[in-house]
Amino acid sequence: MFRNDMPYYEILSPEGLETIERGWQRLVSEIGIEFLHDEALELFRAAGQKVEDNVVKLDPEFVLEQVAKAPREFGLRARNPEHSVILGGRNMVFPCVSGPPFFRMGDERRDGTLADYELMGKLVQHYPELDMATMPMIEPNDRPLDSRHLDMLYASFTLTDKPIFGSALSNANALDSIEAARIVHRGHDLFVPAGEDGRPMTSIMTIVNVNSPLRYDDRMLEALLRYAEAGQGVVVTPFLLMGAMAPVTVVSALAQQTAESLAGIALMQLVRPGTPAVMGSFLSTIDMQSGSPAFGGPESAKGLYASGQIARRYGLPWRAGGGGLTSSQTLDAQAAYEAFNTLLAAFQAGANLVVQSAGWLESGLVSSPDKLVMDVELLRVLREQFSPLVVDEEALAFGAHDEVRHGGHFLGAAHTMERFRTCFYRPMLSSTENFERWARLGARDAAVRAGEIWRKAVEAYERPPLDDAVRAELLEFVNRRRAELGD
């Protein structure tokens, strides 16, 4: 977890914020949001909202009243208390890549496996810049579809002692994720309305994606309802590719994003007032020639800057729509500059949760340990870049000038010799070798070096300790539920 105390970059004027507010209020009240789940419809109907078939037309004031019940900040428990995180405020939390079905190492691209998932979990545990394990870090396509979430839960909880995301793909997946968290965190209440610091504390989180435009499908709603009943955090995220799931103007997409996200958060508060929620954003474009998703462009950055302002307007923790996002198929210059553009914008915009922080390739189709290393390097640079500059008499280093005087050099100065090991950022991935040395050592580019780095990290990996009784109970639960699901 990183505290970002730098000034935020805000591009919306007060009038612009009010225009977007009018836009989302018209969407929820005049067009409405479709909820494909009877339980959700009944909750809205009982709260006095207008329900027509599966469409709920919401009173904007009702939405704002409900959203105000969600906490501004909340904690997420880790097995190791030192790795627990706080969502909201000035805090930034960095989960790894989430969702890809394919895996890439070097030039090899193939379906993901459970072994690949476990590898990514080990890397999440290894790098302190990564705060959370997602689900799925890679789809384990060699495991049965209806029970693979159990394998992922077991791997995440045993290979890392950091917080994790649970599954949101069905009612059963949600309940299994919550029960696994209950087993791992036994001795703690699953949800603590006010912890020692006064903030609510949850034991697991999930991401619920809106089936944009303006629709929540039954599977996502089942997960939202189950997590909310248990008081567990939900990141409510519209997935908007402008030109496909949203209009082509950034402002219109922002109004739609706000309408969709706030409607889901309002529903959560009907289930259990005070349930922790994160306002999600994921706003990008499509290539208008091919229809392919495009990431890392200027529209995404503008959307991030504005989304941060909007979330702060409603007092909600905010998930940035990037991440080390890129459309590139491999670890090349495009992958680097597109990922840096979205990560930098997330820092500038004041994001609290940056899903897809490391490992994303090919518009989210591919999970890559090589890319994860590159993105961790970007995170290390940005964390240093967004740390406040210390300005004091010591930093002025007058004594160094007094020693060197005119026309000399500072390499051997006492001030330099006292600080040379720590005075500058030392890159993990970048090369500063001269050409001759670089060529003599194999002319390894950044992609090759990244592969070497993560392999050394896996070799150095040590499984974090877990109480034997907890491990046994978790394994028994996974095996029992797998059998119940027919696998």
Q: Which amino acid is at 475?
A: L
Asked, for residue 424, whether it belongs to a domain, the answer is: no
Residue 283: CATH number of its domain: 3.20.20.480
Give the span between the Cα atoms of 190 and 183, in whole angstroms: 10
Per-residue pLDDT of the chain (487 residues; tens, 9 = 90+): 999 999 999 999 999 999 999 999 999 999 999 999 999 999 999 999 999 999 999 999 999 999 999 999 999 999 999 999 999 999 999 999 999 999 999 999 999 999 999 999 999 999 999 999 999 999 999 999 999 999 999 999 999 999 999 999 999 999 999 999 999 999 899 999 987 788 999 999 999 999 999 999 999 999 999 999 999 999 999 999 999 999 999 999 999 999 999 999 999 999 999 999 999 999 999 999 999 999 999 999 999 999 999 999 999 999 998 899 999 999 999 999 999 999 999 999 999 999 999 999 999 999 999 999 999 999 999 999 999 999 999 999 999 999 999 999 999 999 999 999 999 999 999 999 999 999 999 999 999 999 999 999 999 999 999 999 999 999 999 999 999 999 8
Contact (Cβ atoms closer than 8 angstroms) between residue 240 and residue 255: no
Within-domain flag for 61: no
484 in a domain, yes or no?
no
CB-CB neighbours of 328 under 10 Å: 22
Range(s) of the domain holding residue 96: 2-7+68-385
Q: How many CB atoms lie within 10 A of CB 344?
A: 19
Is 206 contained in some domain? yes
For residue 429, tell me if it sits in a domain.
no
- Enter the tokens of residue 56: 């709920």
- Whether 306 maps to a domain, the answer reads yes
Tell me whether residue 183 is in a domain: yes
Torsion of CA 428, 434, 435, 437, to 10 degrees: -80
Provide CB contacts within 8 A for 417, sequence distance 6+.
Answer: none
Number of domains in the chain: 1
Tokens linked to 228: 């909310």
Residue 292 lies in a domain: yes
| CB within 8 Å of 165: residues ≥ 6 apart | 95, 98, 132, 133, 134, 135, 204, 205, 206, 207
Total residues belonging to the chain: 487
